Chain A
Amino acid sequence: MQNNKVADSENEEAACLQKEFEWILTEEVHAVLNQLHIILVECVKRFPLPLYGNDSANNVKQEKYVLTSPPDQLRTVISVNGDSIAHADIQFRVQRAHQQAIVYRTYIQNENPWKLNQLLDAGNHVQEALLHIDNIEKRCSFCSSEEVLHILGKILGCLQRGRTCLIVPHKKTVDEIIKSGNMKCLFPTLPDDLAITFYIQSHKLILAVYQSSTSRGLTTKCDVYQAECTIPWLNEVLVLFTVALQLCQQLKDKICVFTQYKDFTVESKPRRRSSVSVRMADKY
């Protein structure tokens, strides 16, 4: 009698579990992907780039920013157009030998803009994620968790890479910066021991000036002066990235719960249910 009751409740639980799994695959996955799509479209809209049918990018205005550093070492006014710095007026003071401070001034002109590759990369990664979602929507339903996990893995990968390229800029050596194509945008050119770079780090645009000097013969030291400004739309982009990532991960976690029982598919026979229920019953 007792045993029967246990078996009944186990079967019931297994049936519920099966129902829940089917619901996730047929309803929840699509609902979440839909939501994700909305978030990512919002995210992509923030980019001043012609991404994912983003027509507003064509009539985007130039944005002006002023970058300063506290001790007035560095002062720069820039205009950003899309993913490049179209114009910049860079002024900075460098300590030279004999305690002498020299002021340098250089410009970036419209015809030779400075590319902010991080913006392009981040935007393209979001677009990739959107394309992955678009590819699914035409499909009516999923029948296995593997399918969903595979797609979620791809979307997560895109979002992860996109977010990372904004918040963790590539580390470059001063030598690489000097040799990079962007340094050729500067006019007039700077002395050989000075290097300039613009990069994004989370919601901030940072200008770094590197001065490498050889003191006492062999030891080279490198001084860095930095100035920064906040780019408001990047902040929104990062929030949307984070929300999208979390949503995606949560769905993945939900599905992972069921993958422990690999014999679970939408059409799986109740043959194996009892064994499933035993494990589940023990767990809760």
Chain B
Amino acid sequence: MSAGTNLVVPVVLWGKHPPTHCISCIFLSADQRTLVSGCYDGQICIWHVDPSTFKMIPRCLMVGHTAPILCLANGSIVMKNNYIVSSSENGEMCLWDLVDGKCREVVKLPYVHTNVQSYKMKSSEDVKLFCNGYYAEIFVMDPFSLEIIFSLSSREKSDWISALYVLQPAKREEDVVLGLTVQGTVKVWTIEASNDHISENEPIFENESKIIRCLNAISLICCSQYQRTVLIVCSKYWQIYDAGDFSLLCSVAPPFRERWFGGEFLSVDRVLVWTDEGKGYLYFLPANCIPDNKEFHKKSNKDDAPFLYCTLSDAQIEKQPLACPPAMRYYHSTALGKILLRGDSEGAVKAWIVPEFPIEEIVSMKSRKDFKPERIQPFISTSVSKTWKAISPPPVGILDQLDVNDQPSIKLTASIYLPQQSRLVVGREDGSIIIIPATQTVMLQLLHGSHQQYEDWPPHQVLLGHVGRVNCLLYPNHTHSRYDKIHLLSGGVDFAVCLWDLYAGSLLHRFCVHAGEITQLLVPPNNTSARVQRCICSVASDHSVTLVSLTERKCVVLASRHLFPVVTIKWRPLDDFMIVGCSDGTVYVWQMETGHLDRVLHGIAAEEVLYACDENANNSSSGESGLANPAVHFFRGLRHRNINAIRHATQRGIHQLQQLHHSKNQDESEHQRTRAFPLMIQGLRTNPKDPESHILCFDIEALIVQLLSEEYSAMSPGTLEAHGLINSTEYEKVAALTKSASPDAHKKIAEFFGRVKDKAGDMERILKEKDKHGIISKVKEGAENVQTKIQAKAESIGIKPMFADKKGKYNI
């Protein structure tokens, strides 16, 4: 990737509809000023929190992960280092700076974590991450380098760890890790304070292990006050154990139709547990579970069971069914005391203050026969969509001028920006495609002025042909010049691919070859056969892939019968193969000329074939990058601060996620080219259900170049010189260089130029006489535009305005 040194200012036009945010995990920063929520689509939202009132508003959306976020953990305990670490379901880990939203470090591991506890060891200066997940060890990682420092392994009954807890025993110099395996064996590791012997390759083995039959635990927490009791939460029960010998002290089943989902000690004698319905339950523990009670560790007593004295719920929660269990976390806030946070599938965040009852009150509650636990409502409840509604005027969208006042706006579902024409093509939910001058529509949304009073401005073009949502758009000429300039393609929910004449605004052809909605349109690479070169490739939700010929107006290859959704398409042009990768890892190799399925590959063979295509593409410069993991490119982009690469990767990442995409397989030269445009517009969508938002990327360098060149072209050489933009000595220097050694030759050249000039002058005069309609002046205008562009190009590569001067002289 080309490392861009140019300054690009991105501006997001969110539109009236809030992005979907199905929260998978939630986190509150140490200073309680920032709430972080990770979602199933892989984005992370940062909320600004007022620590005294707990009012919060979403501040920024961090895009980077390509899979659901599974864990969020503190990256540092140093107050000024506001870092968090996120880990996703496909093994990506990122370190984010919460202040500016930048990604500081990123790795992709073969290990997927399901839980990360950040903990400061005795021997280290800052926190380390203790991770467990789909593997049989516990990894201890450095949050800044995201490298595994050492691991904790099991000598006996090696199994996945389902829950872990790290603590520092009182009066001891070491750290103790409690781990519980999936099959219910609790293990204890001790990490000595002097960790000179710790290395990546020498795992630390457990000191003790005991089978306690707590299958598939969700969390394990040690009571911090006496470190004598342990709370273990499984979906079907929560239990208290004696930390000394891990004997069971009590056990509680969940309420009807709910499953336990997590818990925490509130104090020595109280626990808070929550369920997958997103409700919190407060229990008072029986005497045999309280370490400073004389009854401690005795057999559980029927008359003294854990006592439910309060619930944290919400009337609203019960009405509204959720798509998935909400994420919950308990915090101790300095201003508000104990709070329980909850983030749900609707992007809503709720918080409860956990009430503190004096012990006498609980005892009296306990004695009452008809006692019903009090239900506490959340003290704060907000959501992304609520915030959106509260903004007045609503966040602007890129086509807001087309909205009719009292009707809900039509959602924008696909977009493509044509920088050469400076036009934005937008597909909408109702099947219409709007083509509009980009700068004008942007001006309308961002700038105040008289232009806002014009009716029907900017003029737009409407293409009508789809029934229902437009899923993807493709302008193949953008990717390669072998395609006709007028061709624009769109794929819709109506199973059709439409071929449009961009300039005439007419429907040229409708391809109805798929049996599912079109999700993606791609351009085959340049070195395929002549026939395939005139095709574009389309992918549909029925897992079929076709090559449709734009010249023959028919389907050339129909590659269907894939059992799983198509996730990758790669090419082996020299072998005439199109290689289709499916979500289950199967790879189908199709012959493009004959349309035959050459072979189906699984496992390692499949991976190798896909990998070989990448190698192939790298060797030939014109090769298609295909749809390689966009996360990798994204991360690379972040590291090199290359906005182009980030933009490119983000877009692909987002699209890959939802499998609704049009191709943007630009290779490197394409990247170079896009940089020259002062404005680029990029669609942004984090979930397939969402309408598109748009990112405007203003390239300041390109803008300056364009403005300067426009100005120069308007000046005469005299003014240029007067402004000191050119000077004659410089000119002479260059002229001297171009002078031929022999004066004779020089004279000849001069004569030749003179003749050319005379001829050109004659021609111009003749044309002017003929031209009654001012065509010439238009042509001239056009020529001047070209000149401007050339000039801009020239200046960007370091040629001074001398060039303009020469041109100017000829024009006189």
B134 CB, min distance to chain A CBs, angstroms: 6
A167-B495 in contact (CB<8A): no
Q: Which of chain B's residues has its CB closest to A124's CB?
A: B160
CA distance A164 to B563 in the complex (A): 17
**Which residues of B, 99-158, contact A by the 8 Å Cβ criterion?**
110, 112, 134-136, 153, 158
Q: Does A64 have its Cβ within 8 Å of any Cβ on chain B?
A: no
Instruction: From B263-271, B601-609, B725-733, B748-756, give the one contacting chain A.
Output: B601-609
B203-A168 in contact (CB<8A): no
Q: Which of chain A's residues has its CB closest to B182's CB?
A: A124
What string of 1s and 0s marks CB contacts (under 8 Å) between A251-284 and chain B? 0010010001010000000000000001100110
B134-A121 in contact (CB<8A): yes
Q: Which of chain B's residues has its CB closest to A241's CB?
A: B584
Q: Does A139 have its Cβ within 8 Å of any Cβ on chain B?
A: yes
Q: Does B227 have its Cβ within 8 Å of any Cβ on chain A?
A: no
Q: How many residues of A contact B (CB 8 A)?
A: 44
A170-B604 in contact (CB<8A): no
**Which residues of A, 171-225, contact B by the 8 Å Cβ criterion?**
179, 181, 201-202
A139-B257 in contact (CB<8A): yes
Q: Does A31 have its Cβ within 8 Å of any Cβ on chain B?
A: no
**Which residues of B, 548-570, contact A by the 8 Å Cβ criterion?**
563-565
A43 CB, min distance to chain B CBs, angstroms: 16
A120-B321 in contact (CB<8A): no
A120-B136 in contact (CB<8A): yes
Q: Say which residue of B112, B493, B604 sits within 8 Å of A260 (CB atoms).
A: B493
CA distance A120 to B134 in the complex (A): 10
What string of 1s and 0s marks CB contacts (under 8 Å) between B14-43 and chain A? 000000000000000000000000001000
A175 CB, min distance to chain B CBs, angstroms: 10
**Which residues of B, 147-174, contact A by the 8 Å Cβ criterion?**
153, 158-160
**Which residues of B, 593-620, contact A by the 8 Å Cβ criterion?**
602-604, 607
Q: Does A73 have its Cβ within 8 Å of any Cβ on chain B?
A: no
A160-B583, A163-B585, A260-B468 known; 6 new pairs, CB 8 Å cut-off, are A117-B135, A144-B321, A144-B323, A168-B607, A282-B468, A283-B495
A131-B321 in contact (CB<8A): no
Q: Which of chain B's residues has its CB closest to A120's CB?
A: B136
B183-A50 in contact (CB<8A): yes
Given contacts A120-B160, A279-B467, contact A246 B321 (CB under 8 A): no
CA distance A164 to B583 in the complex (A): 11
B604-A201 in contact (CB<8A): yes
Q: Does A5 have its Cβ within 8 Å of any Cβ on chain B?
A: no
Q: Say which residue of A131, A168, A179 sits within 8 Å of B216 (CB atoms).
A: A131
A168-B604 in contact (CB<8A): yes
Q: Which of chain A's residues has its CB closest to B602's CB?
A: A167
Residues in B with CB closer than 8 Å to A161 are: 112, 134
A256-B541 in contact (CB<8A): yes
Q: Does A2 have its Cβ within 8 Å of any Cβ on chain B?
A: no
Q: Does A115 have its Cβ within 8 Å of any Cβ on chain B?
A: yes
Q: Does B723 have its Cβ within 8 Å of any Cβ on chain A?
A: no
Residues in B with CB closer than 8 Å to A260 are: 468-469, 493, 517
Q: Does B369 have its Cβ within 8 Å of any Cβ on chain A?
A: no
CA distance A38 to B216 in the complex (A): 20
Given contacts A124-B134, A127-B182, contact A168 B585 (CB under 8 A): yes
Residues in A with CB closer than 8 Å to B183 are: 50-51
Given contacts A124-B160, A127-B182, contact A245 B584 (CB under 8 A): yes
Residues in A with CB closer than 8 Å to B276 are: 135
Residues in A with CB closer than 8 Å to B40 are: 150
B468-A279 in contact (CB<8A): yes
Q: Which of chain A's residues has its CB closest to B582's CB?
A: A249
Q: Does A146 have its Cβ within 8 Å of any Cβ on chain B?
A: yes
Given contacts A201-B604, A279-B494, contact A120 B216 (CB under 8 A): no
Residues in A with CB closer than 8 Å to B583 are: 160, 249
Q: Which of chain A's residues has its CB closest to B565's CB?
A: A249
Given contacts A115-B158, A117-B136, A120-B159, contact A283 B494 (CB under 8 A): yes
Q: Does B809 have its Cβ within 8 Å of any Cβ on chain A?
A: no
Q: Does B201 have its Cβ within 8 Å of any Cβ on chain A?
A: yes
B158-A120 in contact (CB<8A): yes
A155 CB, min distance to chain B CBs, angstroms: 13
- Chain A interface (Cβ < 8 Å from any Cβ of B): 50-51, 115, 117, 120-121, 124-125, 127, 131, 135, 138-139, 143-144, 146-147, 149-151, 157, 160-161, 163-164, 167-170, 179, 181, 201-202, 245-246, 249, 253, 256, 260, 262, 278-279, 282-283
B598 CB, min distance to chain A CBs, angstroms: 21
Residues in B with CB closer than 8 Å to A146 are: 323, 345
Q: Does B89 have its Cβ within 8 Å of any Cβ on chain A?
A: yes
Main secondary structure of the interface of A (DSSP, over half): helix
B462 CB, min distance to chain A CBs, angstroms: 19
Q: Does B259 have its Cβ within 8 Å of any Cβ on chain A?
A: yes
A150-B134 in contact (CB<8A): no
CA distance A50 to B183 in the complex (A): 8
Residues in B with CB closer than 8 Å to A167 are: 585, 602-604
CA distance A168 to B611 in the complex (A): 14
What string of 1s and 0s marks CB contacts (under 8 Å) between B469-484 and chain A? 1000000000000000
B410 CB, min distance to chain A CBs, angstroms: 13
B259-A202 in contact (CB<8A): no
Q: Say which residue of B134, B322, B602 sits within 8 Å of A125 (CB atoms).
A: B134
CA distance A95 to B324 in the complex (A): 59
B159-A168 in contact (CB<8A): no
A278 CB, min distance to chain B CBs, angstroms: 8
Q: Does B197 have its Cβ within 8 Å of any Cβ on chain A?
A: no
B17 CB, min distance to chain A CBs, angstroms: 12
Q: Which of chain A's residues has its CB closest to B324's CB?
A: A150
CA distance A245 to B586 in the complex (A): 12
CA distance A167 to B235 in the complex (A): 31
A282-B321 in contact (CB<8A): no
CA distance A181 to B155 in the complex (A): 11
B686 CB, min distance to chain A CBs, angstroms: 15
Q: Say which residue of B159, B259, B494 sits within 8 Å of A282 (CB atoms).
A: B494
B92 CB, min distance to chain A CBs, angstroms: 15
**Which residues of B, 476-506, contact A by the 8 Å Cβ criterion?**
493-495
Q: Does B689 have its Cβ within 8 Å of any Cβ on chain A?
A: yes
Give me 17 A-to-B residue pairs in the complex whose CB atoms sit less than 8 angstroms apart, sorted by A's number. Answer: A115-B158, A124-B160, A127-B182, A135-B235, A135-B259, A143-B321, A146-B345, A147-B321, A147-B322, A157-B89, A201-B603, A245-B564, A245-B584, A279-B493, A282-B468, A282-B494, A283-B467
Q: Which of chain A's residues has its CB closest to B158's CB?
A: A115
Residues in B with CB closer than 8 Å to A150 are: 40, 323-324, 345
CA distance A160 to B602 in the complex (A): 13
A181-B89 in contact (CB<8A): no
B279 CB, min distance to chain A CBs, angstroms: 16
B235-A164 in contact (CB<8A): no
CA distance A244 to B328 in the complex (A): 32
Q: Which 5 A-B pairs have the closest CB atoms?
A: A167-B603, A146-B323, A179-B201, A150-B324, A282-B467
Q: Which of chain A's residues has its CB closest to B201's CB?
A: A179
Residues in B with CB closer than 8 Å to A147 are: 321-324
**Which residues of B, 638-696, contact A by the 8 Å Cβ criterion?**
689
CA distance A181 to B183 in the complex (A): 23
B467 CB, min distance to chain A CBs, angstroms: 5
A170-B110 in contact (CB<8A): yes
Residues in A with CB closer than 8 Å to B517 are: 260
CA distance A127 to B181 in the complex (A): 13
B209 CB, min distance to chain A CBs, angstroms: 15
